[in-house]
Amino acid sequence: MSKNLRILVVEANAAKAQDIIDALSDAGWRDVHALAQISGLERSIKTHAPDIVLIDMENPDRDTLEHISLVSDTKSRTVAMFVDQTDEELTQAALAAGVSAYVVDGLQMNRIKPVLETAIARFQIMRQMQSELDAAKQALEDRKTLDRAKGILMRRRSLTEDAAYSLLRKTAMDQGRKVIDVAQALVTASDLLS
**Contact partners, residue 157, CB within 8 Å, separation at least 6:** 164, 167
In tens, the pLDDT along 114-136 reads 888 888 888 888 889 989 999 99
pTM of the model: 0.70
Distance CA 93, CA 126 (A): 17
What pLDDT score does 45 carry? Answer: 87
Residue 2: the pLDDT is 63
Collect the ranges in the chain with pLDDT lower than 50: none
CA distance to 30, 78, 98, 129, 189, per residue, from 42 (Å): 22, 15, 16, 26, 43
Collapsed DSSP state (helix, strand, coil) of residue 156: helix
| pLDDT tens digits, one per residue of 154-166 | 999 999 999 999 9
| Cα separation, 163 vs 133, whole angstroms | 31
Question: What pLDDT, on the 0 to 100 scale, is given for residue 108?
Answer: 80
User: Which domains, and CATH codes, for the chain?
Assistant: 7-107 (3.40.50.2300), 134-193 (1.10.10.10)
